[in-house]
Amino acid sequence: MSVKSREQVELSDLLFGMSWEDPASDRRALAIQPGETLITITSGACNTLTLLLEDPGKLYAVDINPSQSYLLELKCAAVRHLDYEELRGFLGLAPFTQRLQVFERLRGDLSEAALRYWTSKPEAVRKGVINAGKYESFIRLFSRFLGLMQGKKRIDGLFRCETLEQQQDYFDRKWNTVQWRLLFKLLANKRVLAKRGLTADYFKFHDGSSSVPESFLRRARRAMCEIPVESNYFLAQYLLARYRSEEAVPAYLLRENLPVVRQRLDRIEPVTSPAQEWLGWQPDASIDCFSLSNICELMSPDETGRLFAGVARSARPGARICFRNLIVPRGVPESLQSEIELNEELSRDLIACDRSFVYSRVQAFVVNGKNIL
């Protein structure tokens, strides 16, 4: 049965050069124990690599989009062979003029398909692959408009705030301008996101029940008023289109973590497949943790049910799940809620602390083991 006939959006362009889900939320929700088996959604690959720090035994990185799998391959090759400064430069975190030359040194680590893909995209390699996704191009557009509307001085002032009280006061007195609110109407709408940031099919299942710009405006306010800005590298990307320091980056890119991540790379297995299809191939009770991002927004309700049925069957009793919603309301079907149980308290805490802030829900679930084996 084809992906299209199952009402699953099929993607092929490189949408994400980096991951836009907060890995701290996944680490808390999953509580990974050494040696456990994980599935992650590959996306920009940052979270997959960061979760290696939790010492899993096996990590399946699954994505329907082959471009995201090729990105993971290239990032793994870079982590394996490059030193800290060269890695930062090659990926795009720092100025670097030798990216194409470095790519030639990494070719031997890539599959034939990944090598063909990246060889055909020299400009993506030249600019740094973390900047090569369609969503990152939207972020650069957003930050350019923001710079014009708010000005460098006002943006720098936000990042100088040292307490949440200072952030809230700064937002109310300095930041929350007419221009700021207009920016969301101009850019944070489905039409612009589909044209410049994602793809029109990404919104296939959106029910149109809420104002996307207004919703994102509220979420941005929460990030600026309720979450410390200094270490929030997601906010830095949205406002500046870059990371602000070597310390405020995904954890796999921290100097002290690089040797550990490098040592554990062989535990990752990239998989290009719809997640619900891949889960159907897995043995019963074989997976401990599921980091599912917001992939159900690319599925019909029936396919969402199929995904969670696969989770329930392939999960070990006590398995943990981290699941997100961005725009489209999706969740565990009612028929499975006695087996896949929401941790309401932890979920409330996760969304309150989530640095990525664009998601409407970040939820933690546990598989209780009833009616599964």
For residues 339-358, average pLDDT: 95
**pLDDT tier, 1 (very low <50, low <70, confident <90, very high otherwise):** very low
**Lowest mean pLDDT, pick from 77-86, 131-140, 207-216, 224-233:** 207-216
**pLDDT tier, 198 (very low <50, low <70, confident <90, very high otherwise):** low
What does pLDDT average to over the chain? 91
For residues 360-366, average pLDDT: 95
pLDDT exceeds 60 at position 145: yes
pLDDT exceeds 80 at position 285: yes
Domains located in the chain, CATH noted: 4-131+250-367 (3.40.50.150), 134-240 (no CATH)
Give me the amino acid identity at 292. L
Q: What is the pLDDT of residues 315-345, one digit of tens each?
A: 999 999 999 998 888 899 999 999 999 999 9
Q: Are 65 and 15 in contact (CB under 8 A)?
A: yes
- Share above pLDDT 90 across residues of the chain, in percent, rounded to a whole number: 82
**pLDDT tier, 7 (very low <50, low <70, confident <90, very high otherwise):** confident
**pLDDT tier, 372 (very low <50, low <70, confident <90, very high otherwise):** very low
pLDDT exceeds 70 at position 357: yes
**pLDDT tier, 247 (very low <50, low <70, confident <90, very high otherwise):** very high
**pLDDT tier, 171 (very low <50, low <70, confident <90, very high otherwise):** very high
pLDDT of the residue at 371: 42
pLDDT of the residue at 9: 61
**Lowest mean pLDDT, pick from 197-201, 229-233, 254-258:** 197-201
pLDDT exceeds 50 at position 225: yes
pLDDT of the residue at 207: 47
Question: How would you classify residue 189: left for phi > 0, otherwise alpha for psi between -120 and 50, otherwise beta?
Answer: beta
Query: Which runs of consecutive H residues, i.e. helices, occur in 8-93?
Result: 23-30, 46-50, 66-81, 84-91
Q: Are 122 and 100 in contact (CB under 8 A)?
A: yes
pLDDT of the residue at 373: 35
Query: Which runs of consecutive H residues, i.e. helices, occur in the chain?
Result: 23-30, 46-50, 66-81, 84-91, 99-106, 112-119, 122-127, 134-150, 152-159, 164-170, 178-187, 190-192, 212-226, 233-240, 258-263, 275-280, 301-314, 344-353
Helices first, then strands: H and E counts in the chain: 18, 7
pLDDT exceeds 80 at position 12: no
- Share above pLDDT 70 across residues of the chain, in percent, rounded to a whole number: 90
**pLDDT tier, 203 (very low <50, low <70, confident <90, very high otherwise):** low
Assign 3-state DSSP to the chain and report helix, strand, coil percentages, each to 5: 55, 10, 35
